[in-house]
Amino acid sequence: VKTPTELTKLFNPKSIAVIGATETPRKVGRIVFEQLKGSGRKLYPVHHKELQILQEKAYQSVGDLPDAIDLAIITIAAEKAVIAAEECAQKGIPFIIIIAGGFAESGPDGRSLEERLKQIPLRYSSRILGPNSLGIFLPLEKIDTIFVEHGDKALAAGGGVACIVQSGSVGVEGLGYASNTGFGMRAFVGLGNKCDLNETDFLTYFARDPHTNCLAFYLENFEQGRQFLNLAKPIALQKPIIVLKAGSTASGTQAVASHTGKLAGSDNVVTGAFRQFGIQRVYDDEELCDASKILSALPPTRGNRVAVLTGAGGYGVMCADYIERHDARAQLQMAVLSEETKRRIKKATFEFSACHNPVDITASATDEMHAGSLAALIDDPAVDIIISISFFATPGISSRLQDLIVEQARRTFKPIIIFTEYGPFTDAHLKRFYGAGVVGYPSLSRTVRATRTLVERANILKQLRDIG
Amino acid sequence: VKTPTELTKLFNPKSIAVIGATETPRKVGRIVFEQLKGSGRKLYPVHHKELQILQEKAYQSVGDLPDAIDLAIITIAAEKAVIAAEECAQKGIPFIIIIAGGFAESGPDGRSLEERLKQIPLRYSSRILGPNSLGIFLPLEKIDTIFVEHGDKALAAGGGVACIVQSGSVGVEGLGYASNTGFGMRAFVGLGNKCDLNETDFLTYFARDPHTNCLAFYLENFEQGRQFLNLAKPIALQKPIIVLKAGSTASGTQAVASHTGKLAGSDNVVTGAFRQFGIQRVYDDEELCDASKILSALPPTRGNRVAVLTGAGGYGVMCADYIERHDARAQLQMAVLSEETKRRIKKATFEFSACHNPVDITASATDEMHAGSLAALIDDPAVDIIISISFFATPGISSRLQDLIVEQARRTFKPIIIFTEYGPFTDAHLKRFYGAGVVGYPSLSRTVRATRTLVERANILKQLRDIG
């Protein structure tokens, strides 16, 4: 059995066969083929009847294809997909993606089909992604095989997060989040039923990939749990690893069995092991995206002392409450500001500004006052992290504040995390901030949770280094 | 001392004086006056120099005003505002709103100014809202004195939630949430520093107001804690009361003191008392809005057994995890579906649909399949609540599903709560659902939390009734 851990031909193929490509609108084979037209790769559509598909000569069978094709994407239904996969393997195509469902997740007939698929990598030198895979998406390589709408335009700029998901829908929604106000994406991989390639293969690959700076997984089960953990530990010293492991309660675990035909494993064991091996655990897709965003964009913190800056007193109070609340992820504490810092803030703002922490410069503050206070907090050695509550509703604050915050953020390694909200403008503000390298969130609880994620990352690094 | 608990002339005044009204653009007095022009009330602008303001004859002093004015809104700065308030009281104006800050929250000088204000209701029959109040907003009465941008167009339709907030910024953000995908608003009241009128007055008033079906408070301290609680208990039997009480940790409590010059009170005492007196506690503005939305729109549940319907298996798993997680608010449990229900769902969908709970009808489901499964769950007596995970990304699902869900929701008293997400379309979906009386949220954790809020409400009703 050959086990090519080198997945370059999967993610950056020179030539791609699309089995089931068609001109029929809305069919999966049409959407996938159409999207790949923009990839600049040599494409080989295969359809048993159609002779030409979107200006490309079509082949009537896999056997008719030329040699040395790097990747086959099979878009036809389960039973026919198995036959096509066998033909692709015989043809020596090293990577095969199978999109169709109707395998182990769908009952006894599907299970026996999946058993046939599992034989292929054992008998040939081909590796399979899927079945029931959403496909792959790599903005940098212009490779996109995902047949559902996923906001590609916003994601086209790329980013550092490799996102590997066992559930198609979670993947699609994650892509939606990412394209909205979320993180920049290095790669998206839909694992599907994992008849062959699984999370461990992609952990290994993206750990070495120079464009990846953060690995995010949605998993319902582990194929090789122990191996995954052992591999994760040294990787976590270099790049953050986040895992959303679904199926943590009785019903959740049972639902995993229905969804993928797999056992979810004991939840307590999972939680304990994750921490020990440097993996950060999250519990839903919102958390996964929020954690990916901050861990890919910001360096680990030096400590857990947080300064809160606000022009909105009530939010300062709520933020302090959240910060001091106990949380298993990581503890935060309110920074104790120096007298010098307090003087500087009062001088930059008003004599009546509240200069304990949270720092409340009131609704009368201007852009310059907010930026001046931020500068004072950056310069205070007793502050490790700054949460800047930046609303744009009061008369003294304009969108220029965004530029001033970005300017301050660029002169320091201290994380400055933005909380901004207020209806329809929020996403636009957050996008502009992110475009300039500043991370923010549209809810207070998510802002503080992301801050904890960053401190958790620092704690993990310390723990792994201490162990050696 | 007169204590008119009847606040009709505050919220539905026939005539309004605006002290500090001006033609100068962007000034508070200009914005407030301009907004009130649409109210259909008789307006009396007062400015020491300007003779006419936006086509209305202006008065040069409060003394020049005619008699029998219902409400005075004072938009000038602190020291002058105190003098104007005294003049308004001498003139017999029963209600005075003071917008300016610079009182107790800003140091010794401001505190003595506020002391002078406090004397006014003791010496005259006038009541004061503020100082440092954001103002009031009542869509039904077309009264809007709020000088910061707050998405009024979306809120103009009104709703059942009376929202009473001690912090201006929390109020503005709450209004932003509400106008986005949140709740319909009956009334908004900015309490400010509460030199006279406080949360207890508004609790009493909106409890009796026939247009109010839910009361939501953001408070940093209680003026008359014991009285508030005693009043709340019988009201809670009729209408849900939600309180966001900020200042629950050491730093939060200290920040309250800086923000309002008040003591926040012991947090443990607060939590215990709230529950006993029928108040539902929340911890940030997102929670406050989410709870308001569901409690104002849906009747209390009969029980806590939740059925989850999804075409996206992964979300079914995560949702089950959240439902079975322990939470102090209220416990939920996964409903055990009858064999008949399972048969109906399989018949309406596929033989391979997972018909345990969560019910996963797969990404191949159509609008009709989703609606048919929902119908089966509604008819199952072992189901109290349904969470419908309704995404619009798969080919079989169209926006028609919204109509089908609304149709099902209208034939049952069982709460059907929607979770939908996916980037730019989410808000539009949620707005359309809400317009048709169906409540939904854009994140899984918020959906399950809101479900808990509804069960908590049912538990509170049971507890209060049992006590008698």
Tell me: the pLDDT tens digits for B286-330?
999 999 999 999 998 999 999 999 998 889 999 999 999 989 899
In the structure encoding, which two tokens stand for residue B31, read together? 């914005």
Query: What pLDDT, on a 0 to 100 scale, did the predictor assign at position B408?
Result: 97
Cα B315 from chain centre: 29
Count CB neighbours of A28 within 10 A: 22
In the structure encoding, which two tokens stand for residue B328, read together? 């102090």
Count CB neighbours of A52 within 10 A: 11
Contact map slice: B 3-22 vs A, CB within 8 A: none
Q: Which helix or strand (DSSP H or E) is residue B457 part of? A: helix B444-467
Q: Is the pLDDT of residue A1 over 50?
A: no
**Cβ distance of B422 and A354 shorter than 8 Å:** no
**Cβ distance of B317 and A424 shorter than 8 Å:** no
Q: What is the DSSP letter of A104?
A: G
Output b/e per residue, A69-107; b: 16+ Cβ within 10 A. bbbbbbbbebeebbebbbbbbebebbbbbbbbbbbbbbe
Q: Is the pLDDT of residue B56 over 60?
A: yes
Are A323 and A333 spatial neighbours (Cβ–Cβ below 8 Å)?
yes
Interface test mutation site (partner A, options B260, B317, B336, B431, max chain A beta carbons within 10 A)? B317
- What average pLDDT does this structure show over B398-420? 95
The rounded mean pLDDT for chain B is 91
Residue B225 Ramachandran class (φ > 0 left, ψ -120 to 50 alpha, else beta): alpha
Pick from B244, B325, B363: which is nearest to A249 by CB?
Answer: B325
Query: What pLDDT, on a 0 to 100 scale, did the predictor assign at position A136?
Result: 96
Pick from B259, B310, B394: which is nearest to A316 by CB?
Answer: B259
Query: Does the bond joining A131 to the residue before it have cis omega, within 30 degrees of 0?
Result: yes
Residues A90-104: tens digit of each pLDDT: 999 999 999 998 898
Query: What pLDDT, on a 0 to 100 scale, did the predictor assign at position A2?
Result: 42
Residues A129-183: tens digit of each pLDDT: 999 999 999 999 999 999 877 766 677 778 999 999 998 788 877 887 787 778 8
Query: What pLDDT, on a 0 to 100 scale, did the predictor assign at position B106?
Result: 76
Q: Is the pLDDT of residue A462 over 80?
A: yes
In the structure encoding, which two tokens stand for residue B60, read together? 């040069």
Cα B190 from chain centre: 12
Query: What pLDDT, on a 0 to 100 scale, did the predictor assign at position B2?
Result: 42
Q: Is the pLDDT of residue B426 over 90?
A: no
In the structure encoding, which two tokens stand for residue B293, read together? 């939305």
Measured CA to CA, the distance from residue A279 to residue A300 in angstroms comes to 14
Question: Among all residues of chain B, which has the CA nearest to that of A167?
Answer: B314
**Cβ distance of B422 and A360 shorter than 8 Å:** no
Q: Is the pLDDT of residue A251 over 80?
A: no
pLDDT over 70 percentage in chain B: 93
Q: Is the pLDDT of residue B69 over 80?
A: yes
SS3 state at B187: strand
Touching check for B112 and chain A: CB below 8 Å? no
- What average pLDDT does this structure show over A356-373? 94
Q: Which helix or strand (DSSP H or E) is residue A359 part of? A: strand A359-360
Q: Is the pLDDT of residue A363 over 60?
A: yes
Question: Among all residues of chain A, which has the CA nearest to that of B316?
Answer: A255
Query: What pLDDT, on a 0 to 100 scale, did the predictor assign at position B261?
Result: 56
The rounded mean pLDDT for chain A is 91
Q: Is the pLDDT of residue A42 over 80?
A: yes
The candidate with the shortest Cα–Cα distance to B309, out of A255, A286, A134, is: A255
Touching check for A109 and chain B: CB below 8 Å? no
Output b/e per residue, B148-168; b: 16+ Cβ within 10 A. bbbbbebbeeebbbbbbbbbb
Q: Rounded to whole angstroms, what are the CA distances from B451 to A264, A419, B236, B395, B457?
A: 26, 26, 19, 29, 10
- What average pLDDT does this structure show over A325-337? 94
Measured CA to CA, the distance from residue B432 to residue B439 in angstroms comes to 10
Touching check for B270 and chain A: CB below 8 Å? no
**Cβ distance of A323 and B393 shorter than 8 Å:** no
Touching check for A443 and chain B: CB below 8 Å? yes
Beta strand pairing call for B305-310 and A333-334: unpaired
Query: What pLDDT, on a 0 to 100 scale, did the predictor assign at position A330?
Result: 95
Contact map slice: B 285-344 vs A, CB within 8 A: 285-287, 310-318, 320-325, 334
Give, in degrees to the nearest 5, the angle at Cα A130 between A124 and A131: 100
Residues with Cβ within 8 Å of residue B100, at least 6 apart in sequence: B74, B75, B76, B77, B78, B81, B130, B131, B132
Q: Which residues of A touch B310 (CB under 8 A)?
A: 169
